[in-house]
Amino acid sequence: MVTALRRALVSDGELSYRQGAASVLAAGVLFSITAILFRGLEGATDWQFLTVRGGSTALVLLGVVWVRRKTRPVAWGDVTGRTFVAGLLLAGMSMLFILALARTTAALTIFLLAAAPFFGAFFGRVVLGERVPVVTAGAMAVAAAGVATMVGSGIDAGQTSGVLLAAAIPIMLGLYNVLIRSGGAQADPVLPAIVAGAILLVAAGAVSLATAGLALSLRDVLLAFGSGGIALGIGIPLYNVGHRSVPTAQVSLLNLSEIVLTPLWVWIWPGEVPSAGTLLGGAVVLTAVVFLVIASDRASRRAVAEIA
């Protein structure tokens, strides 16, 4: 597994289905640690955290580029409009996620992310011309009810700004997934993340300089580095390279590792208990996602059997 991942990231190797699934699952676990790292800050602002997060993401990935310079050099000419948009979406999602965490609960923020597959289906139809099956449309309607429940719960709790920020993330993630899928198997998995880290560093750094400055404690720097250099710097390439070997619907199921673990970490510490409305709405959305994945997998197997 480790050798296959190294070849896929450093040279020109490809992952099998199981290896790709394990890669996406591992990425979700890494992504899940950001909320608890953010909750552990001593005094850094959300923008200061984002500045270090973006810079450390770009730094770690540039290190990956240097390591693989002889076996798979980065073709900087491949930074096309699609790559830049993907990086912009990644930076935007990272920014919105931290800003939402500062204004509402981790559970509400992350459960809203579970709606991303349905926006992916919508953008897949608009951008790639992919048909939206009836079963997907039905699951989307169920998920919409769950999202409405969570949004209403957050607004009732006086967390309107956090809810609105979090609600934009699944829309952007759905579009990002479509861009990654349309890029083909040869798309470099680290380029969008490098672009995202650079954008985040510049944008968040500018806001930090204009407000609180960039003076952080060592503890806060290390926590932000863990979120950027480890969770994103390692997680995004794992996600991108694994995504190429796993059907899109199943990627959504594997992403539940992040969605389930994030509220659990902050529930254990610092004891952030989600509201009943958040849990109910999140359960509805997760049920719709699991139903969609199972239905899509059965339809795919049936199509393969008919061809055979």
Do residues 277 and 149 make contact, with C-beta atoms less than 8 angstroms apart? yes
The model's pLDDT over 237-264, given as tens digits with 9 standing for 90+, comes to: 888 788 778 776 677 778 888 999 999 9
The CA angle 75-77-83, to the nearest 5 degrees, is 95
Do residues 245 and 185 make contact, with C-beta atoms less than 8 angstroms apart? no
Closest CA to 79 of 182, 194, 197: 194
Write the secondary structure of 89-127 as one string of H (helix), E (strand) and C (coil).
Answer: HHHHHHHHHHHHHCCCCHHHHHHHHCCHHHHHHHHHHHH
Helices 106-113 and 256-268 pack at an angle, to 10 degrees, of 180
**Rounded Cα–Cα distance for residues 14 and 3 (Å):** 11
Please state the separation of Cα 213 from the chain's center in Å.
Answer: 28
One-letter amino acid of 101? L
Q: How many domains does the chain have?
A: 1
Four-point Cα dihedral 102, 106, 107, 111, nearest 10: 90
Mean pLDDT, to the nearest integer, of 125-154?
Answer: 87
Question: Confidence class of residue 184 from pLDDT cuts 50, 70 and 90?
Answer: low
pTM of the model: 0.88
Could you tell me the residue range of the domain that residue 280 belongs to? 2-307
pLDDT at 104: 94
Do residues 68 and 191 make contact, with C-beta atoms less than 8 angstroms apart? no
The model's pLDDT over 67-104, given as tens digits with 9 standing for 90+, comes to: 888 877 877 776 778 888 989 999 999 999 999 999 99
**Rounded Cα–Cα distance for residues 79 and 194 (Å):** 10
Do residues 209 and 1 make contact, with C-beta atoms less than 8 angstroms apart? no
pLDDT at 101: 95
The CA angle 198-200-204, to the nearest 5 degrees, is 130
One-letter amino acid of 289? V
One-letter amino acid of 70? K
Buried b (16+ CB within 10 A) or exposed e, 268-278: eeeebebbebb
Do residues 91 and 230 make contact, with C-beta atoms less than 8 angstroms apart? no
Weakest-pLDDT range from 46-60, 66-80, 104-118: 66-80
